[in-house]
């Protein structure tokens, strides 16, 4: 019997790393389309929101393709969304770059700010601290993952009693200070690191997410 491959849309809003994300997801068993088509993005088994570069530029691109509507509609129906790097950052309430605030998608409270670290960007492999019960990191909690960023969320403010959100599993890392490395929050998940650049460990995270779509 042929097993159906989950269909995943990588949202094309002008960001980079689209094809590398596509290839990585295909390698772990997904049928992947890179598109900005609203109907396809809403209907797919899974949606990936990638992102590299500046928070404000990514938000402008997302808004231009109605990505805010797509994410809202999917989450309202309990349909999985995965954010990667700046694609994770834009899920928070706002980002502040060079003193200028930009509204994010507001799925989680919190502010994306420049890390207080002796060397930026934070570029390279780093360890993570995974909460008990994580699905994405069940087999790779002790592995290293590849980060490239200067900004992050250092204060997690989501209340576990929020009636609109299930309690979130928050994974942390450290570069100068603690920052959020990943979040698993019902149908909404995200990683600050690049799983598509993180070798076997990153592939295991993507594979766990793709399996959850079945």
Q: Catalytic positions, please?
A: 85, 194, 196
Taking the CA atoms of 16, 63, 32 and 136 in sequence, report the sign of the dihedral they define. positive
Contact between 41 and 11 under an 8 Å Cβ cutoff? The reply is yes
For residue 144, the tally of other CB atoms under 10 A from its CB is 17
Q: How far apart are CA 60 and CA 104, in angstroms?
A: 10
* Start-to-end C-alpha separation, the chain: 15
Taking the CA atoms of 166, 179, 93 and 212 in sequence, report the sign of the dihedral they define. negative
CA angle 189, 6, 135 (to 5 degrees): 35
Which among 38, 32, 33, 34 has a CA at the least distance from the CA of 14?
A: 34
Please, which residues have CB within 8 angstroms of residue 155's CB and are 6 or more apart in sequence? Answer: 110, 111
Which among 137, 210, 207, 138 has a CA at the least distance from the CA of 173?
A: 137
Which DSSP helix (H) or strand (E) runs through 38? helix 38-43
């Amino acid at each position: 019997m042929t097993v159906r491959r989950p269909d995943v849309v990588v949202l094309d809003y002008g960001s980079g790393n689209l094809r590398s994300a596509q290839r990585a997801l295909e390698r772990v068993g997904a049928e992947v389309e890179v598109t900005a088509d609203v109907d396809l993005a809403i209907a797919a088994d899974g949606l990936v929101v990638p992102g590299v570069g500046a928070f404000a530029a990514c938000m402008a691109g997302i808004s231009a393709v109605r990505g805010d509507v797509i994410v809202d509609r999917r989450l309202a129906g309990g349909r999985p969304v995965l954010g990667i790097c700046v694609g994770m950052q834009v899920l928070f309430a706002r980002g502040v770059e060079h003193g200028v605030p930009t509204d994010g998608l507001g799925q989680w409270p919190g502010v994306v700010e420049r890390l207080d670290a002796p060397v930026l960007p934070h570029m390279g492999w780093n360890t993570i601290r995974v909460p008990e019960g994580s699905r994405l990191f069940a087999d790779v909690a002790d592995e290293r993952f590849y980060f490239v960023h200067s900004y992050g969320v250092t204060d997690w403010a989501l209340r576990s009693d929020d009636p609109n959100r299930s309690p979130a599993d928050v994974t942390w890392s450290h570069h100068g200070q603690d920052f959020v490395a990943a979040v698993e929050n019902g149908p909404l998940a995200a990683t600050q690191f690049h799983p598509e650049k993180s070798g076997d460990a990153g592939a295991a995270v993507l594979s766990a997410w793709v399996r959850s779509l079945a």
